[in-house]
Amino acid sequence: MMEILIAAAVGLLLSSFGTPLAIRLFSQRGYGQSIREEGPSGHHDKRGTPTMGGTVIVIAALLGFACAHLYSQTLPTVSAVLVLFLMTGLGAVGFLDDFIKIYKQRSLGLRSGAKALGQLVVGAVFAVLVTRFPNAYLITPAETRLSFLRDFGPSVGIIGFTIWVLIMIVGFSNAVNLTDGLDGLASGATGVVLGSYVLIGNWQLRNNCTTQLGPNCYWVRDPLDLAVVAAAVLGALVGFLWWNAPPAKIFMGDTGSLALGGVLAGLAITTRTQLLLIILAGMCVLITMSVIIQVGFFKMTGKRVFRMAPLQHHFELSGWAETTIVVRFWLIAGLCAAAGLGLFYVEWMPKS
């Protein structure tokens, strides 16, 4: 269990002290945020705030994970490496998007097609590799089946599974990206989900079929290392949130939001809790649905459901203070995570 604590502590320390260095460096180089003219007027004051802070989160998480394995003197597991690859790969796509925004001084970076292509390429590599590399018990990081609290139903085949994994990866990376609209909102909303996966990984380790065969045990390949990944990213995110909380001194940018969405999807797939992520990350799902509803309703009727989408901007234009929206949305995110963890635990409980 010490690996989980070390990963979180190192990620937290590196991010806490690395973020102000990044703020200074990015400010000197003029790596400031561009603001959409059609956005809420209050956001124009944020123009020029350093962005690409997600690079600190990714680097601190990777080093936190590495330090945990240096302590335990063990090699990283395949499941953990694949999730970290997904996080880093999507972070690289986001970094290109952020850099183009900064270089061309506009609110749009990569073209939507190029951005989607980058997400699909990284996701496809992950989807193919995650069904390989069986361990001594012939358990692979993921099966070609759907999962909720554990795998269920028949195999959907490698093609069907790849398509499903791509939907998850693109969907949740964009969901976190849409959530990242107010200072600290995405950091807090994803932080509670990462905390949930620390608990889920630890619970699956204690009730793993390879060590404790029973009716409710879990066939998960590397639960401890997946908890270490979640802890490392969570620690890095908390350190970053210290500087990203309202009023933000730095933004995570697409570098951070795509990376965080990727790590959430990766953890859900490798812990066999794919559909549970919809509940755990319910705040991000709700914000994404507000955009889908707004766009769909406008195309059908020419009218808007919300004053502005994503949902957090609707409340801004309704007169809510930014900090009020952020804290209340954090509370909703916490309730969603608690509901998901409750379902996970109740399903495991032995039936009398």
pLDDT per residue over 3-34, tens digit each? 999 999 999 999 999 999 999 998 888 776 66
* pLDDT value, residue 105: 65
Structurally, the chain folds into a number of domains equal to: 1
Does the pTM surpass 0.85? The reply is yes
- List % helix, strand, coil for the chain (3-state, nearest 5): 70, 0, 30
Position 138 scores a pLDDT of 94
Mean pLDDT of the chain: 92
Amino acid at 333: A
Annotated binding site for Mg(2+): 177, 254
pLDDT at 179 over 90: yes
Range of the domain at 277: 1-348
Task: Copy the structure tokens of residue 1.
Answer: 């269990």
Tokens 């599974």 belong to 161
- Residue 202 has phi, psi (to 5 degrees) of -65, -40
Nearest Cα to Cα of residue 250 among 49, 105, 106, 103:
49
Annotated binding site: 177, 254
**What pLDDT does residue 101 have?**
81
Which pLDDT does position 178 carry in this prediction? 95
The pLDDT of residue 108: 67
3-state secondary structure of 347: helix
Which stretches of the chain are assigned E, i.e. beta strand?
146-147, 151-152
